[in-house]
């Protein structure tokens, strides 16, 4: 039985906004940097910003309460990030993180709640998540064959190896019901790409050994850098170094630890980055954000929805990469928006 809902007034501009948002989610694994911009922007960032502008009139006139509920979980974290930026100084260095949190924790989460409030938008979002799963899985295979090309196209190393699980789980969660797999055979495509990448890596074909060698240094370095990040608390326990200052200051906290290269891609531990840049207050707000999302994944009859699975996988991936980047914030914004909406269509 379909849940009853109040339709959001989707005019022509809002319909374009829905299309732009679905395209943004589909392209979020591709993190290539667009040139000629004052900050790092990806196609997903620009499409999300465009969809937010197009959907704003409908949000204000249609279901502002639903959009507001979707934004609420991220407000404490955004407040701590802003306070840390203002306290430490150099507002410009923290501006990108503030924009990313506002764009995804706010605009994208609200857009997800609105888009999923319509059965047509819900289906579009479902297939967008499926495309994202296929793209991220293709990135895994490409990384096994030629890691340099994969990094050039996807802009990420270690996270690309784990994101297919997040997107596939999210895609399946967006298609609830006993016949979810039968209705959506595309969920098997990521399995095909993952199996192919494992075969290429295990067989040693092409440049798989080169890709594995490039992963060894970040993996070994990650734990040393995490320890160095924790030592930041001795100087700035509450608000940390400030957003945007991690890479430029973390080398000072290695002290007697061996330091390979603090700029090694994919060598950060996500939760350690949050703690070092925003302090214990930021870490508490970050965990509260995840808790609020998880707490909202409950249907009116009290049953738990399967969105817990993509949230758990996202939390796991956040151990291996800074969470305030587009490929991480886009899927969590979708989970956040769906959790606060609490509706599903079967």
DSSP for 83-127 reads: HHHHHH--HHHHHHHHHHIIIIIIIIHHHHHHHTTSHHHHHHHHH
Asked, for residue 6, whether it belongs to a domain, the answer is no
Residue pair 133/168 in contact (Cβ under 8 Å)? The answer is yes
Residues of the chain with pLDDT under 70: 1-10, 33-40, 62-63, 90, 155-161, 175-222, 255-267, 297-306, 342-346
Taking only the tens place, the pLDDT of each residue in 265-292 is: 556 778 888 888 888 999 999 999 998 8
Instruction: Give CA–CA dist 38/102, Å, rounded.
Output: 17
Asked, for residue 344, whether it belongs to a domain, the answer is no
Cα dihedral 296, 297, 298, 304 in deg (nearest 10): -150
User: What domain range includes position 247?
Assistant: 12-339
Instruction: Give CA–CA dist 176/328, Å, rounded.
Output: 23
How many domains, the chain? 1
Asked, for residue 345, whether it belongs to a domain, the answer is no
Percent residues over pLDDT 70 in the chain: 68
Q: Taking the alpha carbons of 325, 78, 316, 303 in that order, is the dihedral positive or negative?
A: negative
CA distances from 276 to 245, 270, 279, 302, 327 (A): 9, 10, 6, 38, 21
CB atoms within 10 A of CB 305: 17
Asked, for residue 346, whether it belongs to a domain, the answer is no
Asked, for residue 42, whether it belongs to a domain, the answer is yes
CA angle 338, 19, 108 (to 5 degrees): 40
* Strand partners for 298: 304
E strand or H helix at 310: helix 308-317
Asked, for residue 238, whether it belongs to a domain, the answer is yes
Taking only the tens place, the pLDDT of each residue in 141-176 is: 777 777 777 777 776 665 566 777 788 878 777 765
Q: Give the per-residue pLDDT at 301.
A: 66
Asked, for residue 1, whether it belongs to a domain, the answer is no
Residues, the chain: 346
């Amino acid at each position: 039985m379909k849940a009853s809902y109040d339709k959001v007034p989707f005019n022509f501009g809002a319909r374009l906004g829905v299309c732009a948002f679905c395209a943004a989610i589909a392209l979020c694994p591709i993190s290539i940097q667009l040139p000629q911009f004052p900050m790092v922007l990806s196609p997903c960032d620009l499409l999300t910003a465009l969809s937010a502008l197009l959907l704003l009139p409908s949000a204000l006139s249609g279901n502002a309460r639903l959009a507001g509920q979707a934004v609420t979980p991220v407000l404490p974290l955004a407040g701590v990030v802003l306070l840390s930026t203002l306290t430490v100084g150099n507002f410009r260095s923290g501006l990108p993180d503030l924009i990313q949190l506002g764009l995804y924790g706010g605009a994208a989460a609200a857009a997800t709640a609105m888009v999923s409030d319509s059965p047509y938008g819900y289906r579009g979002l479902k297939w967008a998540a499926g495309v994202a799963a296929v793209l991220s899985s293709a990135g895994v295979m490409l990384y096994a064959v030629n890691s340099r090309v994969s990094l050039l196209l996807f802009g990420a190393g270690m996270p690309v190896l784990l994101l297919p699980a997040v997107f596939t789980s999210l895609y399946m969660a967006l298609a609830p019901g006993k016949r979810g797999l039968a209705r959506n055979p595309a969920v098997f495509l990521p399995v095909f790409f993952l199996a192919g990448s494992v075969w290429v890596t295990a067989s040693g074909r092409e440049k798989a050994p080169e890709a594995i060698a490039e992963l060894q240094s970040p993996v070994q370095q990650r734990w040393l850098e995490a320890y160095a990040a924790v030592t930041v608390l001795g100087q700035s326990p509450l608000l940390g170094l400030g957003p945007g200052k991690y890479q430029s200051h973390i080398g000072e906290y290695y002290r007697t630890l061996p330091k390979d290269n603090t700029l090694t891609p994919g060598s950060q531990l996500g939760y350690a980055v949050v703690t070092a840049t925003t302090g214990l207050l930021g870490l508490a707000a970050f965990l509260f954000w995840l808790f609020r999302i998880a707490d909202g994944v409950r249907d009116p009859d009290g049953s738990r929805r399967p969105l817990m699975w993509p949230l758990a996988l996202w939390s796991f991936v956040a151990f291996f990469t800074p969470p305030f980047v587009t490929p991480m914030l886009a899927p969590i914004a979708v989970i956040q928006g769906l959790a606060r909406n609490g509706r599903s269509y079967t």
